[in-house]
Copies of this chain bind each other. A is one copy, B any other.
Amino acid sequence: MSSITPIGIVRTPFKEKFGIPKQPHLANEVQATIEIATAICAPESFEQLEGFNFIWLLGCFHLAESKSTKVRPPKLGGNEKVGVFATRSPFRPNPLSLSLVKLISIHHDEASKKMILTISGIDLVNETPVFDIKPYIPSHDTPWEPVKTGWVEDSSDKTYEVIWSDEAKSKVKELEVTTDQQKMINSILKIDPRPAYHNSHKSYFIVLDQFDIEFTVQNHQVIILNIKNSTR
């Protein structure tokens, strides 16, 4: 049996598990990088990968510790259980993640001796270890009959309008939050990152890049209450 060893790491704005999109394509403005040490994988291993625009990222759910036979998917409101193999839950017998991401660019960083792959559409926490990268090839990766998705209601989830409060707007100037960072925050909050079983009007905190963001949800609007430099 060959052994499995991480070849690199994913750098994402998601510093904590809370807020990571369950539907990566809905937050596809969020960019991330895959960093691979060239001591492990020579730059020529990546030759002609730049001709593909979608790749599979196989990683390790390194923060998932509990291993149950059944899990409570957010899609079912957090109360019903289904078998772990009928889900994409991180809490599974082997902590292998599988993510379809968009490949934006590849370059070799001379200083760090790393291959840097810029990607978007990411659904992984920062510092996720990477095991493998494979190109998306339609003849391998497309079902050849109409798809059935069982308990998953697979319509695209509705998105919310995101409103920045006056307090938050003033902090944007003070903290010099860039336009790209504002877009990224909007794209995460518009898909309502709250756990499905919470539905109150209280405020929530999400850590994105270096910011702690406080928000609440009212009448199908996400309202950003405050934004601060994160201490986490």
Contacts and interface: CB of A to CB of B under 8 A. Distances in A.
Interface of A: 1-2, 4-7, 23-25, 28, 40-42, 44-54, 56, 58, 60-62, 64, 69-70, 81-88, 92-96, 98-100, 102, 121, 129, 131-145, 147-152, 154, 156
A51 B7 contact: no
A29 to B, nearest CB: 11
Nearest to A155: B139
A101 to B, nearest CB: 10
A92 to B, nearest CB: 6
Most buried by B among A7, A139, A151: A139
B45 A70 contact: yes
A49 B138 CA distance: 24
Contacts of A134: 85, 87-88, 98
How many of these chains are in the complex? 2
B144 A28 contact: yes
Which 5 pairs across A and B sit closest by C-beta, in order of nearness?
A: A51-B150, A47-B83, A49-B86, A48-B86, A48-B82
Given A137-B152, A141-B141, 19 more contacts: A2-B94, A4-B94, A5-B94, A7-B94, A25-B142, A40-B93, A45-B70, A46-B83, A47-B83, A48-B82, A51-B86, A52-B86, A53-B147, A53-B148, A56-B98, A87-B135, A88-B137, A137-B149, A139-B156
Contacts of A135: 85-88, 149-150, 152
Contacts of A1: 6, 60, 62, 129
Most buried by B among A23, A28, A135, A136: A135
Contacts of A141: 100, 141
A134 B42 CA distance: 31
